[in-house]
Structures are given as C-alpha cells and as structure tokens.
Chain A
Amino acid sequence: MKPAPFEYFDPRTVDEAVALLETHGDDAKVLAGGQSLVPMLALRVARPAVVIDVNRVAGLDGLRQDGATLSVGALVRQRALERWAPERAPLLGTAIRHVGHAAIRARGTVAGSIAHADPASELPALLLCLDGSVVARSRRGTRTIAASEFFQGPLTTALAADELVTETRWTLPPAHAGWGFREMARRQGDFALVGVAAVVTIARGVVASARVVIFGAAPTPLRARETERALTGQAATATVLADAAQRATAGLDAVSDIHAPAAYRVSVTRTLAARALADAAARARETA
C-alpha cells in the first residue's frame, strides 16, 4: 500500500503555504499530523499531485488562553492539548483522550482533526459544543468561520481549496458550568458509533444554559436543539433531564454502516444524552 507519486513542499511561513495552496488548489492536500491523510494516501483513495507539509510553518504552535477564549494554533498536537487541558478544560481533556491512541495523538493536530471533519470524531463535536470557530487564511485574506457553519457533511467543510487553517478558537465554559461527555465506540480509541457532549449551567436550581452536541450519529456533529430548549429555564430535576434527553433525536437522520444500523444510533443517542446530562448536572455548581 504505497502512495501514488506526489510533489512535496514544506513551506516555512503561512504566506508561503497559502501561495502554494493558491497555485495548486484542488490538486493539493495539506499534511499536518498525517494520521488521517497518510492512510488515505496509502490506500490511494486520495491521490493529490502535491502534498504541502505545514509542520515547519512558523507561528502555528501557540496554545493561549485569554479569559474564556482558548486559541489553539493549527500545529498544536492533540497530545499537547491533552496535557494542557485536565484542570483548565476538563471536557476537552476527557474528550481528547478518546481520540485514537497516544501515538496517534503525538502527531495528530487539533486543527487537522477538525479540518478532516470525520462525523464520528470527537474534536469537531467539541468545537461545536464549545461555541468555537476556525480561523482560515488564504491569499485572499483571513476569515473566522463559526463551528456552526464549518461542518457541512462527512469529510466536508466550509474551507475553500486555497485556505489553510491557522488556528481554532474555543469558548471555555465558566468555572461553575457542569459538563458531560459520553461516547460509545467498539473499542477504546475507535471512532464513535455515537457520542454526546454537554455543557450546562444551573442557577437557583434552574438550567440557565445548555449546549448539547451529538456526534457519530449523523453526517456532521449536531446541536440537539430540542433537548436544549427542553432544558433551558426548567428546573434541573432528573425527570426534566431525562425527558430532554429523549428529545435529542428529534430530526436526527441517523447513518447506518456495518458497525451499527441507524436505529441503534438513534436509541443510543438518547441513552448517552441522558447520561451526559446527568453527569453535567452533577458537576454543575450552583450560582445564585
């Protein structure tokens, strides 16, 4: 399983990288961590004429928290975020430990997983859950794409062929927020059959805010809006949480594959939503 031949470039600056992307566009693939791209090259399901290795591009490895905003440079490895996150962003830290295995996370980048947009992967879902965005550069300029706009289909994003992700931004939940993360995979580290990430805040026993994201079940990660509506402003009781979880599959067009039929994904979405919400409620700290 050897890749088809390709030309190789390793630009040193973002300017060089986007110039190459402008020149080669659809004939090029960006190589960052390589954990998703290289298998595709080996299987020859991807046959770009040009591979642009961005691992030596300067200035993309910053990990910076500014108040509630976390900025993650495009070359920050999943392992680096995993090491940074446990106290500062426990939802992110927990989710990222489900991404493959240590050797994958040693090279895989946070941005790469997001740009690859596998509907069963954790980081795109977390970006959506944490109201994140993707910063993309091209010769035409820089733009910030909200997570809600970014994921358009399986392995399909809003990125144009000449754009390079330089950074992802995440809104870290407030300290009193509760979070929950539940994933169902065949084996540890495998892609999710279904996963749910939830963040809630509770004030005076009432759910003040709720963000619930489902992944693995549909062609993109999805906000469970019916669930969020059923929670917000309601008493944070077990019944309310359980009922809201049942609504997580409203409008869900679940996928079928050899590992699970759609019906399974629908059923387990509800189950995991219930568990993730229960976890989130238990972790949430009261505010007056």
Chain B
Amino acid sequence: MGARYFGAAVRRREDPRFLRGEGRFVDDVTLPGLLHAACVRSPHAHARIRSIDAAPARAMPGVAAVFTHADLARWLKPLPLFGAAPPGLAAAVRFDVRQAPQLALCKDVVRHVGEIVAMVVADSRARAEDAAEAVAVEWEPLTALTDMVAAGEAGAPLLYPEWGTNVAVGFSHAIGDAERALAAADVVVEETFRIQRYVGMPLETRGVVAQWDRRDGTLTTWNSTQVSHFVQQGLVAALELPPHKIRVIAPDLGGGFGTKASGYPEDVLVPLAARALHRPVKWIEDRREHMMAAAHARHQTHTIRLGARRDGTIVGLADRIWLDLGAYNVWGIVLPYNTVAHLIGPYRIRDMTVDVKGVVTNKTPNAPYRGAGRPETVFAMDRAVDCLARRLGVDPADLRRKNYIRTDELPWDFGMPYRDGNPLVYDSGDFPAALESALAAAGYDAFRREQPALRARGLWRGIGISGYVEGTAIGPFEGAHVTVDLTGRVRVATGAVSSGQGHETSFAQVAADALGVPLDWITVVGGDTAAVPFGVGTFASRSGVTAGNSIADAARQVRAKLVAAAAALLEAAPDDVDIEDGKAFVRGAPASAVDLGAVVQASIPTFARPGVATPDFEASAYHHVPTVTYASAVHVAQVEVDPGTGAVRLLGYVVAHDCGKVINPTIVEGQVHGGVAQGVGGALFEEMVYDAEGQLLTGTLMDYLVPSATDLPRIETVHLEFPSPRNPLGMKGLGEGGAISPPAAIANAIDDALAPLGVRVTETPASPARVLALIETRRP
C-alpha cells in the first residue's frame, strides 16, 4: 500500500466550486413552495411571559402560520444536553452538576435576550419579519443576573429556584499537595485574570431548511451544523420518528468553529413547522439574531497562585475559576473540566489544586468554541509564569526552559483523568524543542539585544511567549463508509462535517492511499446521515484522527475485497495481487493489469455466468478512539505599543507546533493561520458586552470587532512532527491549536513592551482604552 498522497500538499479539490461561487450553503438550498421563517425573540434578559397574542400577526399578508409554545406543546421536548461526566471521570472528581431543560419555544419564562417565544412562517422573510413585529407579547420583567462571581455567591437571587444555587457546575480537584508546596515556596505570585466573553462568529450564520414528504412520512433537513448525527438524534425525539425516516444534511458550511456544534431550538422548530404546514420551510439566521442567539463562549475569571523556588523551579499552583455559562448549562462538565485539564500545560508541576464554579446568568448560553476552555486556562497560567519571571528577575524564555517537561519524562502521567474519563497522560511531543524553534524563528535573542536601544529611541516593543499542550481528537469514534461503483470510482462518506478544513481533499488523500487509486477517483461526502448511519461530527480537532482512521480502516477492507475479486478474475492467489493507480495486477506481471472498474463489472452476474466474486465492494468502519492524543505548540508574538493611545500593533507572530503526522501540510498551515487570527481577535479586539440589565450592547458587527487584514501580520509556522502512538495514522488534531496561545503571548508581549512601567495586563481584550489606563496609572 502506497503513501503517495499522505503528506502531500495537494491543492484542494473543493476549491473550484467555491471560487466560482457555486458552493451550496444552506441559504442556497431552494425548493418549490418554500416558506420563510422569522423568530420573535425576547427583548428581555429575564422575564415571565404573561400572554402572547399572535392574532394580529396571523392576519398579516403572506403569513402561513405563527407558532407559539401552545401550538406545538405536544412536540416540544427539552433540547438536548451534553457533558455528563463519563464513568472514569465521575469516579475521580465529585461534580455538582445541574442542568435545566430548555424548550425550543419558551413557555413561561425567558432567560436571555434572544430566546425564542414564537416563530412566524410567511411567503418571504421580509413579510415574516413584518408579522413577527405584530406578535403582541405581555412581559413581566424579572431581575437579571449578569455578574458570574456575584451570582455564584450564597444569597444571590436564583435563576432556578429549585436548584438553591446558581452554580451549575461546581467541583474541586487536586493532584499532589499544592497548599503545602505553595507554603514552602520562596516566591508566590497571585493575580486575577479576566478573559472576556468572545465567540466563533462564523461568516455564515446558522440556517435550517426542512422538507416533509407526506408520501413516505420522511423528513429531510439541511442544517448548517457541524454535528448532523446529533441533530438527527434530537429530531428523533422531537418528531417521534425513527432515525431512518429523518435525513439531516450538512451542506457547505461558511465556518463553524464550534458555534455550529451545539444543539439549537431552530433545529427542531423548522422541521416541526414544515410537517405542520406540509410546505418546505427555510430559516436563515440574520447577523443580529446570531449575536444574541448563537452560542457564546469563553468568559472565565481565574484567581491563580503560582509558587516557585528562588532558582526558578515552579513548585505548585492553586486556581479559583469562574465560568459564565449563560442561561442554560448546555455543556455540563465539558468547558469547566477542559479548563482544569489544560491548566498545567507543558510545565513540570505535580501539585495543583483547583476550585471551579460554572455559574448561570441571564445571557446567551456558553458552548465550546475553538479551544473550548484552553485559551482561558493558558492565559491564566502563562501570564502567571511571566509575572513570576518578572518577580524572579529572569527572562520568561529561561523560566520556561527550566520548567518545561522534557522528552525523557514522557509519557507524563498527571494522576488525574481527562474529560473522557481515561488517564491524562501526555503521549508524545517535544515541548522544549517547540520552545527553541519558536524562539529561534522569532529572533528572540536578537530582539532582546536590540530592545534597550529601541526603548531609548522611544519605541515600546515587546516579545511574549505562550505554549500549550492540547488533548485533541476526542473520541469515541467517527463513522466512515467506503464504496466502489461500477466504474471503479469511489465514494467515501463520513459523519465528519467540513466547515472549511478541506475534508474533500484530505480524506480523499487517505482513502486514495489505502485503496491504491488516483486521488480524483474519490468523492468525499460529509455530514449526511443517509450516507453513514452512525456518526459524531466535527469539533474538538477530532476529524483527522477519528474520520481519517475510520476511512483508512474501511478503505483497507474494501481494498481486500477488490484484491480477492481481482485474484479470482486474474486466476491468481490474493497474496500475489496488488492494486496501484486504480489497476489490479499480479505482482511481477504488469501486463496482467486490469482496471478496477473491470473487476467490479466482472463480479456482477450475467446470464452467461455468475460473477467472479460477490459484488460487495463496500465497508463501514468506526475506529475506536477511547482517549485523546496530545498536540502542542509554542507561540511567540512581537508587538509595538503606542504609549500615547494604548494601541497595540502586532509586528510578527510565530507558531512552532506538533500535530503528529500530517495529511496535507498546506491545509494544516491554513488552519494554524485561522486559529491565530481568532486568538488575536480575542487578545485585542473581540468582546460580547452585556449591561447590568442583561442587554446585549454588542448587537452588530459594528461593535463586535472581527480582525481584518490590516490587523494581522504574516504568521510564520514551524512544523514539528512527533507521531501519535495512539492511532495507526499517527495523527493528532490541529484545528483549534492556533487559537489557544495568542491572548497569552500577546499580553505577555505587551507587559514586556511596557516593562519599564511595570504594567500588568490582567484582562482581555487588551483594548487601547485598557492599555492606556494601565500606562497612565503607572506613569510618574
């Protein structure tokens, strides 16, 4: 079996349609008789619904229906919840978890601005919006909880009175004895770091199109989702239909980033409307809705203590962590525990204690977004390390050199589980090598030498480092199905969903190698529940490992079937038959080569003869991935600060990363760039802002600042390759990594630039106003 394509920088096969504007995104799906939906959303952060009068709306031109909870009560089950602790984790950590049900249409109470109260369906989106305005809702506003720390204290008003608390996820955990270690430390730094609420903000908003077929009682729905099988499962419950009667198709996605990997009310509302009306229904989220209704993310506060000996050896840490979960705890232990599992990162630390409170507030629910807790936790840790370096009077690079886990110390067993319940053990990588590579590529030493002269010239430039170790490719599996057709061409179907990662190319590369066919013989179909019965979806940097290995498994099985049939056709022993370049041949006898299409056709019975073999050239595979595999990286950022305005300019950015064996290096590099760009957004620009009444102040892209081309420098990527021992392809996940370290690296660089003033950046985004305020309090 060849490795002709694996590792090759093949240009992407899906590109021509996107370049031509012929992609098919959910809003490009059009059906005869299509109706359009618009939602009536709560303007209040917390309110009781006294009454809803939809009659004026129903009377408006073009309106087909207005649905409130009362109209669909029979079908509205609580929306899916995630994040229960797997057995291995629940055995080690005592979680206090509370999850309240959320209904697709609010019945009595709304708990965040943007929650849906009614859905209007009309002959155009514009007329649906006109009618939505005419739905008369009588509200009784209630007190809104907006401060997670205050809401997490005893005595705070309760969002869910039956809980007796607003802490939806509470736990403590320790390894070693951090308090003893900190008490014995020569130096302890303590600081509170605030990471803001910021979000995925894919350029394409969400959308759902649903079509009900009365003839055979089936539903087809196109949904801009990263998790078609999860959506299907949700519809099984809502529609009370078996899965094979529900087809969920994820079309081309204009970005996902985790925002489209959550379960949403519209997933079920649009299909319910289509079935009730016997007309296809389309709902396309507009940007204003997206800001208030699509999942929010991040939003953590860490009060961290980090202790060290005078020689720079870090001896222990304690961290109190708050997460603002929004109005519903949709994701259970996922974000809080991810945060804890990634706190220590590449550092040699055996003594850690954490106290975690995930608190509900009257805001849009929080869900995993590119990094999912890791950027926040790395910010706390790497900022604390730099504060420690400053206290000890050592260079932050040297402090990391001293404390990074070395390769001879791997595998490194933390003595606690990962989120999947299996032991958290770093399996591979070379963190010191990543550090040295990143520093060298960034010209760190030369920068340090020049820095005093730059300062003397009035240039406030700084350099900052951050590194992470990331559990990637969470399991437990991904579905893949491979089949060969009458001409020898191949269809690969998988539960993975591409939202820009280039699956149609990278998975074809894997399959082509495993089968022995040319790359362009392969078509990859993702995210269609009709094409592969069991699947999970794309998030958590998992699809290369999970789908890649399943595809390889299934393709190998198909190859074996082709070899057997070809052997029968060629009257040779299977062991003597090979497949290469789409042809089967007897090894050593090139003239025997026969096209795979001919092998398939020869297996089909005719009147004259039976087939040479059963014409079964398909296979499914669900490669078991019990636990994650560890990718890692070090980032170095260079900034220049304008001390008169607080403006931070990014001069350069370097990433030295290991993501194991790589299918397509160019796709990998693009993923790193994109992740870094989002991390830069979090470091300097992006913030979802609520006021004290729970009103969302950042309601459009005029206020939520996505970085543009003039805000980002070129990004230099250094590739390291330490194959994963945990899957046959040796791969690790990489989609999220780029987004993890930028806030820490950039904040470290800002502190470094302003070192003569002793400024300490403790919250992001490091906006000009915040940076200038720090400067002005320190300037003599």
Contact = CB atoms under 8 A, between A and B. Distances in A.
B130 interface: yes
A186 B645 contact: no
B506 to A, nearest CB: 33
Contacts of A184: 645, 647, 768
A267 interface: yes
Given A186-B767, A258-B697, A267-B772, A2 B705 contact: no
B126 A2 contact: yes
B685 A188 contact: no
Contact of B125 (A2, A43, A188, A272): A2
Contact of A187 (B697, B711, B773): B711
A268 B772 contact: yes
Contacts of A267: 772, 776
Given A258-B697, A258-B698, A258-B703, A188 B708 contact: yes
A43 B768 contact: no
B32 interface: no
A187 B711 CA distance: 7
Interface string B280-324: 000000111000000000000000000000000000000000000
A268 B771 CA distance: 12
A260 B769 contact: yes
Contact of B767 (A2, A5, A259): A259
Nearest to A256: B769
Contacts of B697: 258
A258 B705 CA distance: 12
A261 B772 CA distance: 11
A259 B645 contact: no
B768 A187 contact: no
A1 interface: yes
Interface string A155-189: 00000000000000000000000000000101111
Interface string B729-740: 000000000000
B689 A1 contact: no
A268 B130 contact: no
A43 B711 contact: no
B79 to A, nearest CB: 25
A264 interface: yes
A236 to B, nearest CB: 21
A47 to B, nearest CB: 10
A260 B710 CA distance: 21
A190 B700 CA distance: 13
Interface string A1-13: 1111100000000
A2 B286 CA distance: 9
Contact of B644 (A188, A189, A268): A268
Contacts of B763: none
A211 interface: no
A287 B647 CA distance: 37
Interface string B108-127: 00000000000000000110
A156 B767 CA distance: 29
Nearest to A1: B286
Interface residues of A, number: 27
B618 interface: no
Contacts of B769: 193, 259-261, 264
B267 interface: no
B705 A260 contact: no
B287 A1 contact: yes
Interface string B680-711: 00000101010000000110101101011011
Interface string A273-287: 011000000000000
Nearest to B687: A258
Contacts of A275: 644
Contacts of A186: 685, 705, 767-768
Nearest to B689: A258
Contacts of B752: none
A44 B286 CA distance: 13
Contacts of A263: 773
A271 B698 contact: no
B129 interface: yes
B645 A268 contact: yes
Contacts of B707: 187
A2 B645 contact: no
B710 A2 contact: no
Interface in B646-696: 646-647, 685, 687, 689
Interface string A129-168: 0000000000000000000000000000000000000000
A268 B643 CA distance: 10
A43 B289 CA distance: 11
Contacts of A188: 708, 710-711
A259 B769 CA distance: 7
A187 B288 contact: no
B645 A187 contact: no
A89 B776 CA distance: 37
Contacts of A193: 768-769
A264 B130 contact: no
B685 A187 contact: yes
Contacts of A268: 644-646, 768, 772
A271 B708 contact: no
Interface in B735-780: 767-769, 772-773, 776
Contacts of A264: 646, 768-769, 772-773
A271 B288 contact: no
Given A43-B700, A186-B768, A5 B288 contact: no
Nearest to B776: A267
Contacts of B130: 4-5
Nearest to A43: B288
Contacts of A259: 703, 767, 769
Interface centre among B288, B647, B768, by most chain A C-beta atoms within 10 angstroms, is B768
A271 B685 contact: no
A258 B133 CA distance: 28
Contacts of A272: 644-645
A4 B127 CA distance: 9
A193 B772 CA distance: 13
B772 A187 contact: no
Contacts of B647: 184
Contacts of A1: 129, 286-288
A113 to B, nearest CB: 15
A268 B772 CA distance: 9
A110 to B, nearest CB: 21
A252 B213 CA distance: 66
A190 B126 CA distance: 29
Interface string B256-289: 0000000000000000000000000000001110
A258 B765 CA distance: 12
A116 to B, nearest CB: 14
B728 to A, nearest CB: 45
Contacts of A3: 126
Interface string B128-145: 011001000000000000
A271 B700 CA distance: 30
A205 to B, nearest CB: 26
Contacts of A43: 288, 700
Interface in B443-484: none
Given A259-B703, A260-B767, A264-B646, 11 more contacts: A1-B129, A1-B288, A4-B130, A186-B685, A186-B705, A193-B769, A259-B769, A263-B773, A268-B644, A268-B645, A268-B768
18 contacts: A1-B287, A1-B288, A5-B130, A43-B700, A186-B685, A187-B707, A190-B705, A258-B687, A258-B689, A259-B769, A263-B773, A264-B646, A264-B769, A264-B773, A268-B646, A268-B768, A271-B645, A272-B645
Of all A-B residue pairs in the complex, the 9 with the closest CB atoms, nearest first, are A2-B126, A271-B644, A264-B769, A1-B286, A260-B769, A188-B710, A184-B645, A258-B689, A268-B645
Interface of A: 1-5, 39, 43-44, 184, 186-190, 193, 258-261, 263-264, 267-268, 271-272, 274-275
Interface of B: 125-126, 129-130, 133, 286-288, 644-647, 685, 687, 689, 697-698, 700, 702-703, 705, 707-708, 710-711, 767-769, 772-773, 776
